[in-house]
Structure 1
Amino acid sequence: MRNLQESLTGLNEHYLEMLKHLNRMLEINLEAIHDGKVNPKLYGECFIVEDVINAFEVKVKEDCINCIARFQPAAKNLRELIMLIDGVRLIERMADILKANFRAIKNIETNSPEINSRLDGAFYEYLIKIKKIFDSYVTSFATSDETILYELISADEEINKKTDEIVSKIANCIKENPNETEILLEVVSLVKKYERFSDHIIHLVVDLVYTLKGENLRKKELLEEQEN
């Protein structure tokens, strides 16, 4: 029968597996954006991987709850279990975003396949930046290196700035091609969903800081807002 530490090790391994599957979905989205078309095989793979993530979410949450009930952990171990419960919930939600976005990319490809080139490749570069943030988070989780995390928190502002730039480019496209307003607005929605995906990464980052350092950045931010 496993003790608490063995159980945590197993849970962390499952969590990393979920992150790897989510990374694969992100790679599939990147490939579709880069090529401007959706490969049918990748389309099917995206749905299968999302199902795997859903199954992992259920198992990890159940195992975390069982650990809390059985071992009644304190301090860092309890923070870690709570982080895992919250983390798998967010990962499942992030997978939903990527699956929905893949559907949207397929629709955009059908109606306006040249969209990405008209945006000067900005959409692809935008998604590359988001993936780099995600990769850094995964590295930090796997190595327990909190120094990377503080750098990632500031990256959120850069993503927001890039989002505004792309939306501005799309607005110009709408002015030049008013007959394509509907499909271009769908591109805006796609960009905003990727921005939400990035926001979720930052939430995972903040939770990991709390687990590793005991520093609640969300509480700190709220207190600063109240003071201002």
Structure 2
Amino acid sequence: MRTLNESLKALDEHYLETLKYVGRNFDVNLEMLQNNSFNPTLYGEAKMIEDFINSFEVKLKEDSIITMARFQPAAKNLRKLVMIINSVRVLERMGDLLKANLSLIKDIEKKSPNLAYALSEKVLPIAKKIRGLFQMYVDAFLNEDVRLLYNVLYLDEEIDDLINANTDYFLTKMKETPDNVVGGSELMLLDKKFERLSDHIIHLASDLIYILNGENTRKAELQNKGKGNQ
């Protein structure tokens, strides 16, 4: 029978495997954006990867619950198990978003080829930054580096600025001709999906900060909002 430490180590390994699969689907997104075109082979790979992510979500949740019931861990280890349950659900949602992005790329290429250039020129820079945020989270998890996590929280603001600039650009293109309305709308939707991915990474980083130093950044944010509304 495994000890608590052995169980936690196994959970870490499976969690890192899940992170690896999500990272690969990020890279599939980047490749299609770079090429301004949909790739059916990469899409098939992304679908298979999503199945793996879903399987790991189920396993990690079950194993975490079993570990809590068997060992009744204290403080930090208990927080970590709860984090894994919450975070793997977020990773599953990220996998869904990343696969959905590929369908949007396909639609943009097919329905609005005159705007397909914007995939690499406008959306790709945002996607690369978000991929970088995700890698920073992975590195922070591996090295228990809180400083990296705070950088993730800071850099998220840059992504918001880029998305707002893209929205203005796409709206301008849509006003130029009705032929750009569908493509412009789908490009904005693609940006929004990447924005949601960024938000999910922020949640992952906040949870990990709580594990590493006990600081609940979400609670502090809610408290600050409450004071502002008073």
Task: Judge same fold: TM > 0.5, yes or no.
Answer: yes
Aligned residue in 1 for 2:68: 68
- Match in the other structure for 1:29: 29
Equivalent residue number for residue 189 of structure 1: 189
CA contact (8 A) 1:37 1:113 kept: no
Counterpart in the other structure of 2:140: 140
What do the CA deviations read for 1:15-60 (whole angstroms, capped 9, x no partner)? 0100100000000011111101122210100100000000000000
The residue type paired with residue 122 of structure 1 is: K
8 Å CA contact 1:36–1:113 kept in 2: the answer is no
Tell me which moved more, 99-108 or 81-90: 99-108
Q: Deviations over 1:107-136 (max 9, x none)?
A: 111122342425771211111111111110
Q: State the TM-score, normalized to the length of structure 1.
A: 0.97
Letter in 2 for 1:138: V
Deviations 1:169-189 (CA, angstroms, capped at 9, x unpaired): 101110112222122111111
Q: Partners in 2 of 1:13 and 1:146 — Cα distance? A: 20
- How high is the TM-score relative to the length of structure 2? 0.96
Q: Is the 8 A contact 2:50 2:96 kept in 1?
A: yes
Letter paired with 1:64: S
Q: 2:204 matched to which residue of 1?
A: 204
Distance 2:198 2:129 in 1: 10
Q: Are the structure 2 counterparts of residues 183 and 118 from structure 1 closer, same or farther at C-alpha, using a change threshold of 3 Å?
A: closer
Displacement, 1:159? 1.1
In structure 2, C-alpha distance between the alignment counterparts of 1:114 and 1:35, rounded to whole Å: 14
Q: Percent sequence identity over matched residues?
A: 47
CA distances 1:193-226 after superposition (whole Å, capped 9, x unpaired)? 1100110000000000000000000111111112
The one-letter code sitting in structure 2 at the alignment partner of 1:4 is: L
Q: Give the structure 2 partner of residue 45 of structure 1.
A: 45
CA distance, structure 1, for counterparts of residue 210 and residue 113 of structure 2: 44
Q: Could you tell me which residue of structure 2 aligns to residue 110 of structure 1?
A: 110
Distance 1:118 1:135 in 2: 25
- Count of residues paired in the alignment: 228
Matches within 5 A, 1:57-136: 57-118=57-118, 121-136=121-136
For the 8 Å contact 1:33–1:105, the answer to whether it is kept is yes
Which 5+ residue runs of structure 1 have no aligned equivalent?
A: none
**What is the alpha-carbon distance in structure 2 between the residues aligned to residue 153 and residue 139 of structure 1?**
15
Partners of 2:101 and 2:118 lie apart in 1 by 19
Q: Deviations over 1:121-176 (max 9, x none)?
A: 12111111111111100000011111111111111211111111111110111011
Matches of 2:96 and 2:43, distance apart in 1: 14
Measured against aligned partners, the alpha-carbon deviations of 1:76-131 in whole angstroms (never above 9, x if no partner) come to 00010000000100000000001111111111111223424257712111111111
- Preserved CA contact (<8 Å) 1:60 1:88: yes
1:158 aligns with 2:158: yes
Any idea what SS the aligned residue of 1:2 has? coil
- Residue of structure 1 in register with 2:176 after alignment: 176
Runs (5+) with no aligned partner, structure 2: none
